[in-house]
Structures are given as C-alpha cells and as structure tokens.
Amino acid sequence: MKVAVLGAGAIGAYVGAALHHAGADVHLIARGPHLAAMRQHGVQVHSPRGDFTAHVHATDNPNEIGPVDYVLLGLKANSYAACGPLIDPLLHETTAVIAAQNGIPWWYFHRHGGPHDGQRIESVDPGGAVSAVLAPQRAIGCVVYAATELEGPGVVRHLEGTRFSIGEPDRTISPRCQTFSDAMQAGGLKCPVEKDLRNDIWLKLLGNISFNPISALARATMRQMCHHGGTRQVIETMMRETLTVAQALGCDIGISIERRLAGAERVGDHRTSTLQDLEAGKPLELDVLLTAVIELAHITHTDVPTLHTVHAISDLLAHRTAA
C-alpha cells in the first residue's frame, strides 16, 4: 500500500509514522525547517504510549513520489482549492483521498440521498473550486480524535487519543476503507470504519463550532472557557443550535451537551487549533466550522441566532488576521 501525506504537520506526520511502522510505503510532503528535520532525523514522536522515530521519505516535490493508493490530506481546509499542483502528481484512476479535516467537508452531500443529494455547500466549496481539485468520488471522510502538536521541526508531541474514524460518503463499508483501516490498526492506531461518518462529523463539530471561535475571541484555553459562567452558557447555546441543524439533516449525535462539555473540561489548558493559528498569524479555519453550519441552517430553515452573532464577530477577526 502506497500512501502520500500531503501536509505532513503534527497529525499528518504522526499518521505517516504509524503507517510506516506498519510496513506501508509512506511519503511525507512538507516544507521548510520541518521538512529538513524529518529528512535528517526522521519523524520523532513523543507519546505517553512510548517514544519512537520513523525514518520516512519526506519531500516538497510530489513528482518524486508519483501516483499512490491513498492521499491523506493534512492541509487546512482553506488550502484545498489551491492544492491541485501538489495533489495531481499523486493521483491515478482509483486513488482515494482521505481528508483529515475538522468541520463540514466539501463532499458532505455527495451520495447523501434525500432532497439535498449532490448539493454544493458554497462556504466550503466556493464556486465548485474544491470539487474541481478533489473529486468527491475520491473522498473518504475522516474524523480525527487524536491530539498532537509540533514540538519543534520534525518532532511530534502526541498528547492523547489514537482514533481516526473513516467512512464512505455513500455509507457503504468499502474494501478501500477496510484496507486503510487495517494498515492504521497495524500501526497501533484505532481506525473504525463507520457506516455513517456524518454522525461523527457532527459530534466533533459540536465542540469545534463553539470552542474554536470563542477561544480565538477570548484568547482562552478549554478549561478557562468551561469555567467562566457566561462563556460556558454561550457555548451551550451554540451547541444546542448546532444539534438542531444536525437533527434537521437526519443525524443523531448520541451524546448530551453536558457530557460534551465535561469531556472538553478534562482536556485542561489546551489551546484550540484556531487559537494557535491566531497566535501564529495564520488564516483562521472558520468557514468549515461555523460558516458552513449557518449555510446548512439556512438550507434546512433552522433558526441559529447565537451562531450568527458569534460568526459575525469571529469573521471580522478572521479578516483582520488575513489583512
């Protein structure tokens, strides 16, 4: 099995190292000091489960790799539309693209069934620009429940969690999903193949849609947001509105808001990815987390006033950061 990781940051390098450990033919695509460090020293993983180093092929030129069986996308979703020159050399007729992204994916309504089947979500696929680069039929969904961060160039700190749930847009248990799942498990990771991954998407989104923008606006950690009464109330309201949209689309998350908050509180003083991006001066990945849900609320005629308010403020922050 030949795998390319496009955007081998903290999550991508961690998965690539695990697959390499399982014997897969893995290639990491990165740039800058991180790439240089991986080339010289391999991917160094520091984890409560045990430290290890994986000497994986790393490059900034996908033409060196050629077509692969699977591309794991570790890029931010707002980079998808522009990734054509990087991903095209990696594709053959049946290459699967596994998008390890937060939020609503560009393929969400692909083979969804029902009245919205095939509908494009403008906020995540503006003008079809993402679908033109990443054909929805190639997509395998992936919801990441692992927390990692780059401790330094080439050094991945694994904080917690090893689950990467995957699934087909059409809800089948396909051979290509099962093959990838087997390789991930051989590498020591959990990779269940879910019949309807959309439920997992909304479960993960329940936290991302609320904690991520609020953390950036308040410059606060998970613990701080949970412990501040007023902020906690806003987050609860955002979660309730999000659940209403999910239910309007036929999804059952199967977890209470209180349980979701308790899980977030246990994470402690963790900074969300949006807060980390803000502090690093990077673009904020809010379209797939918040804007898309507001668009889906409009499609399903669902009232989400708090989401609209937080979006208006965080959108201004995103524009100021990008300026």
Q: What is the pLDDT of residue 135?
A: 97
Instruction: For residue 78, give the nearest of 221, 309, 270, 292 by alpha carbon.
Output: 292
pTM of the model: 0.93
In three-state secondary structure terms, 107 is coil
- Residue 145 domain boundaries: 2-195
What whole-number distance in Å separates Cα of residue 83 and Cα of residue 278? 22
Are 183 and 228 in the same domain?
Answer: no
Which one of the listed residues 2, 190, 195, 204 is annotated catalytic? 204
Number of domains in the chain: 2
Are 223 and 152 in the same domain?
Answer: no
Are 32 and 162 in the same domain?
Answer: yes
Are 89 and 177 in the same domain?
Answer: yes
- String of b and e for 175-201 (b: at least 16 CB within 10 Å)? ebbeebbebbeebbbebbbbeebbbbb
Are 159 and 276 in the same domain?
Answer: no
Work out the mean pLDDT of the chain and round it to a whole number: 95
What whole-number distance in Å separates Cα of residue 320 and Cα of residue 183? 42
Are 168 and 204 in the same domain?
Answer: no
Residue 159 maps to which CATH number?
3.40.50.720
pLDDT in tens, the chain (323 residues): 999 999 999 999 999 999 999 999 999 999 999 999 999 999 999 999 999 999 999 999 999 999 999 999 999 998 999 999 999 999 999 999 999 999 999 999 999 999 999 999 999 999 999 999 999 999 999 999 998 989 999 999 998 899 999 999 999 999 999 999 999 999 999 999 999 999 999 999 999 999 999 999 999 999 999 999 999 999 999 999 999 999 999 998 888 999 989 988 888 888 898 999 999 899 998 999 999 999 999 999 999 999 999 999 999 999 998 87
Helix extents (H) in the chain: 10-21, 32-41, 84-87, 129-133, 175-186, 197-218, 222-227, 229-248, 257-267, 273-279, 292-299, 305-322
Are 45 and 133 in the same domain?
Answer: yes
Residue 203 maps to which CATH number?
1.10.1040.10
Q: Domain boundary residue among 164, 195, 226?
A: 195
Are 37 and 90 in the same domain?
Answer: yes
Residue 2 annotated in active site: no
